[in-house]
């Protein structure tokens, strides 16, 4: 394929939704962020929601901006975060905006499961039981929103909803479905056992999409609004942002370790088939579906969400805006014993004041005393993230039998120089920082298969390798028992 293509990746995250234009010249993809709009949960009453109508409207306006830069849009793909969904009636109407996974109403249904039941669910699906998994929110909604569930006919994940709004076609994308814990990662199909256990109607799920295939064409009324008279295909891409980001790793080797660093840190490796055994379960790893049927064996860990919250609180304290470089300097200025927190402790999931919560934890564990210090807090977060990465990569090496020389970091967090250095230092491995636009780049690259059926995963990764700049971090190994201390702290 040597024809120039103008491909749009719609990339929606927790903190912003972005429209990225990918220009493919036959050998490389050049990306440009055309629009970036802030995104956040909306609280009304007791619950946090996502405003899907605002997101959809923002994307349509962003497509208008794209059309001011190019004569034609050749295709569109959509990816977002995982687990969140909305229900639709039999007429195709969305019954309510999606509830956010930051709500806690699903957690109590997970807590009702004993250890044996949790183990059975893991063995049925390959997915680790986690309070944010969609299955527990579905169960909560059957109680809290019984009237909505009674008339529901279909369940669409957030990117499925946006695809439906664009095309009028309902398709369930597999990488998103795997985050529900309702899909069996071995068969890549909905688990009838899980549906029976949680009284979930099987008819809520429709056709499962195939990566690189067309979902549908952009609807006529949207074409009229955009002022175009040609069809734009909307392509099924790995809609879970992690899956698209992992696809965009420019690795030449078959076995590699990755960290997809954004609001969450997804630490893992890519496999042909899931590994479902006691070691995986005890290591808190999960088998999510990735691009083209691959499996991403990974740990879903707290990521930049914690430090993003701290940055906002620091700015409010200083009564001015700050830069990430300023936060890094505060962390580097700390010279005492390294303080650590369990970044995945539920107390850091969504506290009213993140910095205060961290300082309280450090005082409770007798690692600090006195009044809160910003440098200490930030250093504790960065070091704890690096130790979590080191522990998880070590576990994955033991489980898979693969030894990794490199760790590829993709996503917005790949630009955090201090975390990259600490990760290299605490793991003793080289860190390769890749594109911060990896999610959009993977999204765009998969769309190329729609135009050229001969493209496989290796060929797509070769295109990506030619399209991105990488930076290597190779710090002297320096652990000093930090990772072991983190492991004890996190038990």
Tens digits of residue pLDDT in 147-158: 999 999 999 999
Average pLDDT over residues 45-49: 96
CB 446 within 8 A of CB 7: no
**Average pLDDT of every residue of the chain:** 95
CB burial class (10 A; 0-12, 13-18, 19+) of residue 321?
A: exposed
| Assigned token pair, 471 | 């930076």
User: 361 pLDDT band (50/70/90 cuts)?
Assistant: very high
Percent of the chain with pLDDT over 90: 93
Strand, coil or helix: what is 40? coil
Residues 73, 8 contacting (CB under 8 angstroms):
yes
Position 246 scores a pLDDT of: 95
What are the phi and psi torsion angles at 436 (to 5°)? -70, -15
Q: State how far the alpha carbon of 36 is from the alpha carbons of 28, 156, 366, 430, 446, in Å.
A: 23, 24, 42, 32, 22
DSSP line for 88-127 = E-TTS-B-SPPBPTT--TTHHHHHTS-HHHHHHHHHHHSP
For residues 433 and 413, give the distance between their C-alpha atoms in angstroms, rounded to a whole number. 9
Query: Look-up: residue for tokens 């929110």?
Result: 137
pTM score? 0.89
Q: Tell whether the torsion through CA atoms of 343, 349, 351 and 353 is positive or negative.
A: positive
Note the pLDDT tens digit of each residue in 214-261: 999 999 999 999 999 999 999 999 999 999 999 999 998 989 999 999
> How confident is the model at residue 263, as a pLDDT?
84
pLDDT bucket at 330, cuts 50 / 70 / 90: very high
Give the Cα separation of 26 and 43 in Å (integer).
46
Distance of alpha carbon 462 from alpha carbon 441, whole angstroms: 13
Residue 436, token pair as written in the block:
């911060």
Gap between the Cα atoms of 9 and 24, Å rounded:
13
* Count of all residues that appear for the chain in the document: 491
Q: Beta partners for 468?
A: none
Residue 210 has what DSSP assignment? -
**Site of tokens 């609807």:** 219
CA distance 431 to 258: 9
How far is it, in rounded angstroms, from Cα 448 to Cα 1?
9
CA separation for the pair 199, 196 (Å, rounded): 5
The angle subtended at Cα 291 by Cα 191 and Cα 10, nearest 5°, is 105
| CB-side neighbour CA atoms (13 Å) of 313 | 19
Do 75 and 21 touch, CB atoms closer than 8 A?
no
Give the CA distances from residue 190 to residues 178, 181, 195, 236, 343, in Å, rounded to whole numbers and listed in that order.
9, 9, 8, 18, 32
Q: How many helices (H) and strands (E) does the chain have?
A: 19, 19
**Other Cβ atoms within 10 Å of 405 Cβ, number:** 9
d(CA 231, CA 235): 13
pLDDT at 262: 85
The whole-angstrom separation of Cα 399 and Cα 393 is 10
> What contacts 384, CB < 8 A, 6 or more positions away?
340, 341, 342, 343, 486
Q: Strand pairing partners for 38?
A: 16
- The model's confidence at residue 2, banded by pLDDT at 50, 70 and 90, is low
pLDDT tens profile 410-439: 988 898 999 999 999 999 999 999 988 899
389: CB partners within 8 A, 6+ apart: 259, 265, 267, 301, 407, 423, 426, 427
The tens digit of pLDDT for each residue in 438-475 reads 999 999 999 999 999 999 999 999 999 999 999 999 99
Q: What mean pLDDT comes out for the span 391-419?
A: 94
Q: Are 78 and 232 in contact (CB under 8 A)?
A: no
pLDDT band at 491 (very low <50, low <70, confident <90, very high): confident
Task: Give the C-alpha distances (Å, rounded to integers) separating 391 from 198, 240, 476.
Answer: 34, 25, 18
Query: pLDDT band at 181, cuts 50/70/90?
Result: very high
> Would the pLDDT of 198 be above 90?
yes
Q: Which two tokens stand for residue 145?
A: 């929103």
Average pLDDT over residues 117-125: 97
Confidence of residue 1 (pLDDT cuts 50, 70, 90): low
- For 189-229, strand residue ranges (E) read 189-190, 214-217
pLDDT score, position 435: 86
Residue 226 token pair: 């955009």
**What pLDDT was estimated at residue 55?**
97
pLDDT of 286 higher than 90: yes
**Cα→Cα distances 301→268, 339, 348, 420, 488, Å:** 11, 19, 12, 16, 17
Q: Give the mean pLDDT of 37-53.
A: 96
Report, as an integer, the average pLDDT of 257-274: 94
Asked if 284 and 252 count as a contact pair (C-beta separation under 8 A), the reply is no
Evaluate whether 299 touches 284 at the Cβ level (below 8 Å): yes
Give dist(CA 397, CA 402) in Å, integer.
5
CA separation for the pair 371, 352 (Å, rounded): 19
User: What mean pLDDT is predicted for residues 53-70?
Assistant: 98
pLDDT at 85: 98
What domains sit in the chain, N to C, each tagged with a CATH number?
A: 5-235 (3.30.420.40), 249-434+456-491 (3.30.420.40)
The catalytic site residues sit at 241
């Amino acid at each position: 394929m040597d024809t120039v293509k103008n491909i749009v990746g719609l990339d929606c995250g927790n903190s912003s939704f972005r429209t990225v234009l990918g220009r493919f010249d036959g050998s490389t993809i050049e990306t440009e962020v055309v629009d970036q709009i802030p995104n956040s949960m909306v609280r009304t009453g007791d619950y946090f929601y996502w405003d899907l109508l605002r997101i959809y409207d923002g994307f349509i306006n962003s497509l208008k901006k794209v059309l001011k830069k190019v004569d034609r849009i050749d295709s569109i793909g959509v990816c977002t975060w995982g687990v969140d969904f909305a229900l639709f009636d039999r007429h195709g109407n969305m019954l309510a905006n999606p509830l956010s996974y930051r709500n806690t109403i699903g957690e109590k249904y997970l807590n009702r499961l004993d250890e044996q039941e949790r183990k059975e669910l893991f063995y049925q699906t390959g997915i680790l039981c986690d309070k944010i998994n969609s299955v527990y929110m579905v169960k909560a909604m059957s109680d809290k929103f019984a009237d909505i569930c009674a008339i529901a006919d279909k369940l669409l994940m957030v990117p499925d909803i946006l695809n439906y709004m664009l095309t009028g076609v309902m398709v369930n994308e597999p990488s998103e479905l795997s985050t529900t814990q309702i899909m069996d990662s071995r068969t890549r199909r909905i688990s009838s056992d899980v549906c029976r256990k949680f009284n979930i109607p099987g008819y809520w799920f429709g056709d499962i999409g195939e990566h690189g295939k067309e979902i549908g064409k952009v609807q006529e009324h949207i074409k009229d609004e955009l002022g175009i008279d040609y069809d734009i295909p909307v392509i099924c891409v790995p809609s879970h942002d992690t899956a698209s980001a992992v696809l965009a790793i420019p690795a030449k080797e078959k076995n590699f370790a990755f960290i997809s660093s954004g609001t969450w840190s997804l630490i893992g490796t890519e496999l042909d088939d899931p590994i479902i055994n006691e070691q995986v379960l005890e290591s808190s790893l999960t088998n999510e579906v990735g691009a083209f049927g691959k499996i991403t064996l990974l740990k879903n860990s707290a990521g930049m969400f914690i430090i993003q919250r701290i940055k906002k609180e620091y700015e409010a304290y200083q009564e001015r805006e700050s830069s990430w470089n300023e936060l890094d300097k505060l962390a580097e200025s700390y010279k005492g014993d390294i303080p650590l927190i369990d970044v995945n402790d539920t107390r850091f999931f969504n506290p009213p004041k993140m910095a205060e919560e961290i300082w309280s934890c450090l005082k409770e564990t007798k690692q600090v005393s006195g009044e809160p210090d910003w440098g200490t807090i930030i250093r504790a977060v960065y070091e704890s993230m690096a130790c979590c990465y080191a522990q998880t990569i070590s576990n994955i090496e033991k489980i898979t039998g693969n030894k990794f020389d490199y760790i590829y970091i993709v996503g917005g967090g790949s630009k955090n120089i201090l975390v990259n250095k600490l990760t290299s230092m605490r793991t003793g491995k080289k860190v390769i920082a890749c594109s911060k636009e990896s999610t959009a780049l993977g999204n765009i690259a998969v769309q190329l298969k729609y135009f050229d059926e001969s493209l496989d995963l290796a060929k797509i990764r070769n295109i990506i390798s030619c399209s991105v700049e990488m930076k290597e971090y190779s710090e002297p190994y320096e652990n000093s028992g930090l990772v072991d201390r983190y492991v004890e702290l996190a038990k």
